[in-house]
A = this chain, B = another copy of it.
Amino acid sequence: MSQVPCVIGFGMSPWGSEWKLSARDLIAKAARETIKSAGIGMKEIEAIHIGAMTTGMFTGQENIGAYAADAMGIPGVPASRHEGACASASVAFNAACDDIASGRHKMVWSGGIEKMTDVSGDGATAALAAASEREFEADQGATFPLMYALMAKSHMAALGTTREMLTAVAVKNHRNASKNPHAQFQMEVTPKIVESSIMVADPLRLFDCSPITDGSAGLIVVSEDVAKSLGKPYVRVLGRALVSDQMFLHRRKVLHEMPGAVKATKHALDEAGKKITDMQAIELHDCFTIAELMLLEAMGLYEPGKAGPATVDGKTAIEGESPVNSSGGLKGKGHPVGATGAAQIGELFLQLTGTAPTERQIPKDPTVGMAMNVGGIGTMCGATVLEGVRK
Query: Which residues from chain A sit less than 8 Å from chain B, CB to CB?
Result: 2, 22, 24, 48, 52-57, 59-67, 69-70, 75-85, 91, 94-95, 97-99, 101-104, 126-127, 129-135, 138-139, 241-247, 260, 263, 375-376, 379-380
A130 and B63 contact, Cβ closer than 8 Å, known pairs A22-B135, A79-B242, A81-B91: yes
Which B residues lie within 8 Å of A380 (CB)? 63, 65-66, 79
Nearest CB in chain B to that of A57: its residue: B56
Residues of B within 8 A of A57 (CB): 56-57, 60, 62
How far apart sit A60 and B129, CA to CA, in the bound complex (Å)? 8
Whether the Cβ atoms of B2 and A102 lie closer than 8 Å is yes
Q: How far is the CB of A128 from chain B (nearest CB, A)?
A: 9
Q: What are the residues of chain B within 8 A of A133 when measuring CB–CB?
A: 61, 67
Identical copies in the complex: 2
Contact check, B91 vs A98: say whether CB atoms are below 8 A apart.
Answer: no
CB–CB B54/A56 < 8 A: yes
Q: Is the CB of A63 within 8 A of B247?
A: yes
Chain B nearest CB: distance from A169 CB in Å?
25
Assess the B130–A76 pair: CB atoms within 8 A: no
Query: Which residues of B are found within 8 Å of A63, using beta-carbon distances?
Result: 83-85, 130-132, 247, 375-376, 379-380
Residues of B within 8 A of A131 (CB): 62-63
Most buried by B among A22, A62, A127, A138: A62
Q: A271 — nearest CB in chain B belongs to which residue?
A: B104
Question: Within the complex, which residue of B59, B62, B244 is in contact with A76, where a contact is CB–CB below 8 Å?
Answer: B244
Most chain B CB atoms below 10 A, which of A63, A67, A138: A63
> Residues of B contacting A245 with CB < 8 Å?
66, 75-76
- Chain B: which residue is nearest A104 at the CB level? B98
Once bound together, how far apart are the Cα atoms of A132 and B94, in whole Å? 27
CB neighbours (8 Å) of A77 from chain B are: 243-244
Q: A80 contacts which chain B residues (CB < 8 A)?
A: 82-84, 91, 94-95, 242
Contacts of A139 in B (CB 8 A): 60
Query: A187 to chain B: closest CB distance in Å?
Result: 31
A132 to B64, CA, bound (A): 10
From B83, B98, B260, B376, A83 is in contact (CB under 8 Å) with: B83
Q: Given the complex, which residues of B lie within 8 Å of A376, measured CB to CB? A: 63, 66
Q: Which residue of B lies closest to A97 (CB)?
A: B102
Q: In the assembly, what is the distance between CA of A77 and CA of B102, in Å?
A: 20
In the bound complex, CA of A151 to CA of B95 (Å): 34
A59 proximity list for chain B (CB < 8 A): 134
Chain B hits for A67, CB < 8 A: 133, 247
Residues of B within 8 Å of A53, CB to CB, are 62
